[in-house]
Structures are given as structure tokens and as C-alpha cells.
Amino acid sequence: MLSLEIDRIKVGGLTAMARVLEIARVCAPCIFYMDEIEKLFTRDDKPLLSLLLTWLQDKTFPVFVIGTLNRIEDLPVEATRAGRFDCVWEVDSPDAESRLNLFLLFLKRFDSRFKDDLVFDKYEWQGILDETIEFVGAEIEQIVIDTIARVKECDPDGEVTAGDLLEEAMQFNCMFERNSKQIVTIRNSIRELAKPSHSKKQSILAPRNIDPYRPAKVVSSN
């Protein structure tokens, strides 16, 4: 997998872009990932975008290209032509099963118990997942890191419990709580133009219908 930093390409100009595209060709088959591709959509960067789109259109080698952006309205229509960025997916906040997998992914870095086991029962996990609706991966990672740090500070040999994670999640001020209007606006703008990136099924836990707009939680200071 190749990851391209758009800012570095903008500094290097057409020469840097041509070099990176040649590296992708030599590395084929591969995945070529570009984050924040909207940075190429400015008037000054049109030559860079033109070179990229021409390369996408003409390539005959197996390179799967992925680009990310936050606002679908910024995507030029010519970039969505067949053979270019011809499929658009909506990557929304993770569903319950995805959040569970993220918690396990980050927890097993610090605690070997989580490598092959859920450790907590499904009711404990359900409480944690209900408290982290609309949390993204980076926020779940931070909850795990903060929980581990707090537990180890009290007892270097202590083990994380479901209650520890739930307590940390209840105190965490996630991005959705801070900017719900802006996030909903972005979400609504893409919903009719993109395919969902994951299903809504929850194979491990029971179906839930929790309202993310419920009143803000109150955390006791005791």
C-alpha cells in the first residue's frame, strides 16, 4: 500500500507527481491511497489534478486508487468519469460491530487478554458501545489509551475492566457532540451521491436503536 501526502506533492509540483505515479506503476499490483485530495482542486493546482486524472484514465496496470475528502460538493465532475474515481463511498462513523472491533484492536496493543477473546460479556460491551455512538476510530483509540494510563497509574499490575472503559467513554467529549450540526450537514450532502461503506448488521450484538440526539449525559463528580 502506497500513501501519498498531497501537501508534499504540491511543493514538488508536476515533477513530484509524475515521480509518485511512476512509483505506483512499478509497485503494481498495489493500493495507492491519497488523503485529502480536495487540496488538488484549487485553481493553482489544476495541472497536478489534470496529470493525475489522465494517469488514472490511461493506466493498464493493477493499481487500486483510493482518495478521501470531506465534502462531496468539492469533487470535480470530471474526476468521477469511468476509469477515474468512478465509485464514491460514504465512510460514516463506525457502527456498533465496527466500534467493538476497534476497541479490541486498540486494547490488544496493551493487554494480551484481548488478542483472542472478547474478555467482557456481551452486556458489558453493549453498554460501552451504546455510550460511544457517533465516536470515530481516533476517539475510541484515545479512550483506550486514557483508560490504560489511568488504570496503570493506580496499579501497574491492574487490568482494565468494562467499567473502566465505560467511565472514560462517558467523560469523553467526542467530535459529534461538539459539531453535530456541521457533521449532519456533511452527511446529508453525500447520502444520495455515495454508497455506504459498511452494512448496518450487527452479528455479535443485538440490534439497537439509540438516538444520537438524546440529551447530553451528566457525569457525577463523586
* Chain segment 106-132, per-residue pLDDT in tens: 999 999 999 989 999 999 999 999 999
Given this model, what pLDDT does residue 208 score? 57
Dmax over CA atoms of the chain, in Å, equals: 64
The residues, ordered by sequence, that sit 6+ positions from 188 with a Cβ below 8 Å of its Cβ are none
Average pLDDT over residues 38-63: 88
Residue 202, pLDDT > 80, answer: no
Alpha carbons 158 and 73: distance in angstroms, whole number: 49
More confident residue, 23 or 5: 23
Exposed, middle or buried by CB within 10 Å (0-12, 13-18, 19+), for 148?
A: buried
Residue 209, pLDDT > 70, answer: no
pTM for the predicted model, two decimal places: 0.71
The closest of 136, 122, 208 to 172, measured between CA atoms, is: 136
Read off the C-alpha cell for 74.
468539492
Read off the C-alpha cell for 155.
496499579
Alpha carbons 187 and 212: distance in angstroms, whole number: 14
The closest of 89, 4, 87 to 51, measured between CA atoms, is: 4
- Out of 3.40.50.300, 1.10.10.350, 3.40.50.1220, 3.10.129.10, the CATH code matching 2-87 is 3.40.50.300
Residue 170, pLDDT > 80, answer: yes
The residues, ordered by sequence, that sit 6+ positions from 84 with a Cβ below 8 Å of its Cβ are 53, 56, 57, 78
Alpha carbons 131 and 102: distance in angstroms, whole number: 14
Alpha carbons 148 and 159: distance in angstroms, whole number: 8
Q: Which residue type is seen at 56?
A: L
- Please, which residues bridge with residue 3 across strands? 33
Residue 104, pLDDT > 90, answer: yes
Least confident of 36-40, 132-136, 180-184, 188-192: 188-192
